[in-house]
Amino acid sequence: MARATLQSSDLCRGLDESAIDQVLNIGKVIHFAAQELIFSQGQKADAVYLPCSGSQLVERSANTGQRQVLAFLRQGDYLGLNTSDQFLYSAHTLEPSHMLRFASHDFYDLASGLPVLRDNVGRISNQVLARALDHLFAIGQKRAHERLAFLLWQLWSRQAASGRSDKITLSMRRTDIGDYLGLTLETTSRAFSRLRSDAVIATQGRNLVQILDESALCALADVK
C-alpha cells in the first residue's frame, strides 16, 4: 500500500524505482483508528505524513474554543510538509486510516540529496498555498450555500481524479464542514437543504451526496 501511494503521488513524480525505494526505506506505515489524534498544534514538528487510506482532518483551535478546520485530507494529500519547527495545527483521522510516516530529519536529509524530490516538495508547498487562498476567498466572499458548493466541488473534483462518479461520500460531520466553511452546523445543514431543493445535489443518508447539476455547482462554487 505504501509503495502504491508513493508511486502515484506528486511527491515522487519523476523519481525512479530505486529512489522510491530510498523514500520507502525511511518511512513506516502506521494505522490510526477513527477520530484518533495524529498530532497536536504546538507540538514539535518531527514528522511528515502521507495518507494511504482513510480520511483525515486538519484544524486550528483558539484559546476561546473557536475552531477553524483547515483541510480535509485523503490519499494523494500531504500532512506536515510545510511547517516551521512546531505544528501550527492539529490533525486527526475521520475514518480508520493508514498513514505513511517519515521522521522530519530523515525526510529532509533524503530530499536534500534528491533534487527531484526536493523540487516536488516545493511544488506541493505551492499547491497547499494555492488551496489555502481558494479557501480564504470562499470564506471571505461567499454566502453559506455557495461555500458548501465550493467544498463539495473540491471533494468531488479531487476524487474524480481517481475514479469518475457523480457521488461523494462524506466522512466528516456537519460540524466539521461548518468549521471548515466558517458556519455553524445549523447553517451548514440549511445550506445542504437549499442545494437539495434547488436540485443541485441529492442526498442518500447523511453522508452520500449525489451531484445532479454539475454546472450549477461550479457556478455556485465560482470555479472553472
Interface residues with a copy of itself (CB under 8 A) are 60, 62-64, 66-68, 70, 82-84, 88-89, 112, 115, 121-123, 125-130, 132-133, 135-137, 139-142, 179, 181-182, 222
Residues at the site binding DNA, with contacts judged by CB under 7 A: 143-145, 173-175, 182-190, 192-193, 203, 205-207
- Cβ-based nearer residue to a copy of itself, 84 or 204: 84
157 binds, among a copy of itself, DNA, none (CB under 5 to 8 A by kind): none
Q: What is the DSSP letter of 163?
A: S
- Cβ-based nearer residue to a copy of itself, 34 or 113: 113
The distance of closest approach from Cβ of residue 50 to a copy of itself in the complex, given in angstroms and rounded to an integer, is 18
Reference 66, options 179, 181, 175; nearest CA is 179
Strands 47-53 and 97-103, how do they pair? antiparallel
Four-residue CA torsion sign, 193, 94, 36, 45: negative
Distances (CA, A) of 128 to 35, 61, 198: 23, 19, 32
Strands of the sheet with 47-53, listed across from one edge: 27-32, 97-103, 47-53
62 binds, among a copy of itself, DNA, none (CB under 5 to 8 A by kind): a copy of itself
The distance of closest approach from Cβ of residue 103 to DNA in the complex, given in angstroms and rounded to an integer, is 33
- Cβ-based nearer residue to DNA, 163 or 205: 205
Strands 208-211 and 201-204, how do they pair? antiparallel
- Cβ-based nearer residue to a copy of itself, 3 or 13: 13
